[in-house]
Amino acid sequence: MVITFGEIMLRLATPDYLRINQASSYEATFGGGEANVAVSLANYGIQSQFVTRLPDNDLGKSAIMELRKYGVGTDHIVTGGDRLGIYFLETGAVSRGSKVIYDRAWSAISQIEPGMIDWDKVFEGATWFHWTGITPAISEGAAAVCLEAVKAASERGIPVSTDLNYRKNLWKWGKTPAEVMPELVAHCDVILGNEEDAEKVFNIHPEGVDVTQGHVEAEAYESVCKQLMARFPKAKKVIVTLRGSLSANHNSWSGVLYNGSQLFQAPTYQITHIVDRVGGGDSFMGGLIYGLLTYDNDQKALNFAVAASCLKHTIKGDFNQVTVDEVEKLMGGDASGRVSR
């Protein structure tokens, strides 16, 4: 059973490609990094539980219903606080990038405090724990509870994974990522980041990389993986997602995995007609956890993660609503998109 901990929010997206100042209505769904991972895993048949704090009102109850709809366990969600966090999404096109505006100040989880979650109960029967760098960015309390969780999981020998997920617009509560993240990441067995996370959080960066050129050299990130592993010796695997941005609608997509002795590189996909890239990293993480739990083969696990997240770019909403068969079909080279009858 995989446990994830973080914030789920109401997502309000402008329809089509409208800008926020053009929109008279919004498409309402739910999403959030760790919840997205839990949904991916549930879709793949892996038992998952999402842990958070939600207000005891209709919005909080709707979020729980949405998670249950996808088979995600909600047994350890605690209630309290006054509001659910919201984020507004404006989907970009061609040379205009997408834009996210957060409205999550004073959300229920931002006011969480140590002791509110019974981690002994949460981790009964757990085989994996996942968190992201978004959670400790929310508030001092959320960072403290996240530290409670990683320590509790680590003490029990439960593998811990993180997606560094640097969000500059969230770190406003008084401390920087460099002050908070090292103690948390020190408990992790698997570390995931994108082309800039390691640089922004730990000042570790590759040389000569320009993601705006539409292609990213995988070998350039081997040094990043080695530096992260040297700094965090508990880590057994370091993974970097590789996104090259030709435009808002056309990205190249791949990844590398370093296991301490060997660097694995996934195939590169050209995603030429992106429907929705939000949640792409979370879909990668969900695919990676599934692959590591299922295949016992680092190359195959990495290939599954990249293929799964490639498919996510074709699906509206935060959640990656694909099956194992669909991912493995793409892994096998079938990208035809032919009608299945």
Instruction: Reduce the DSSP state of residue 240 to 3 states and report it.
Output: strand
> What tokens appear for 200 in the block?
């922004």
Decide: 72 and 40 in contact? Cβ < 8 Å: no
Decide: 161 and 189 in contact? Cβ < 8 Å: yes
160 belongs to a structural domain: yes
The answer to pTM > 0.85 is yes
337 belongs to a structural domain: no
Decide: 77 and 112 in contact? Cβ < 8 Å: no
* Phi, psi dihedral angles at 282 (to 5 degrees): -65, -40
pLDDT for res 338: 59
Mean pLDDT by 10 residues, the chain (341 residues): 98 94 96 97 98 98 98 98 96 90 95 97 97 96 98 98 91 93 97 87 74 61 90 96 91 94 94 91 97 95 97 96 96 70 49
119: burial class by Cβ within 10 Å (0-12, 13-18, 19+)? Answer: buried
pLDDT for res 244: 87
pLDDT for res 236: 97
| Range of the structural domain that residue 52 is part of | 2-331
167 belongs to a structural domain: yes
| Residue from 174, 121, 119 nearest 149 by CA | 119
339 belongs to a structural domain: no
* Total domain count, the chain: 1
191 belongs to a structural domain: yes
pLDDT for res 66: 97
336 belongs to a structural domain: no
- What 96-105 contacts at long range (C-beta under 8 Å, 24+ apart), as own/partner pairs, is 96/248, 97/248, 98/248, 98/277, 98/278, 99/20, 100/278, 101/20, 102/169, 102/170, 104/7, 104/9, 104/138
Q: What residue ranges in the chain does DSSP mark as E strands?
A: 2-5, 9-13, 27-31, 48-51, 53-54, 78-79, 86-90, 99-103, 128-132, 160-163, 190-193, 237-245, 251-258, 263-265, 269-271
Q: Please report, for residues 86, 164, 321, the alpha-carbon distance to residue 22 in angstroms, rounded to integers and kept in the order given.
A: 19, 33, 29
pLDDT in tens, 51-93: 999 999 999 999 999 999 999 999 999 999 999 999 999 988 9
pLDDT for res 215: 54
340 belongs to a structural domain: no
pLDDT for res 162: 97
338 belongs to a structural domain: no
- Residues in contact with 115: Cβ distance below 8 Å, sequence separation at least 6, in sequence order: none
Measured in residues, the chain has a length of: 341
The CATH number linked to 212 is 3.40.1190.20
Instruction: Reduce the DSSP state of residue 42 to 3 states and report it.
Output: helix
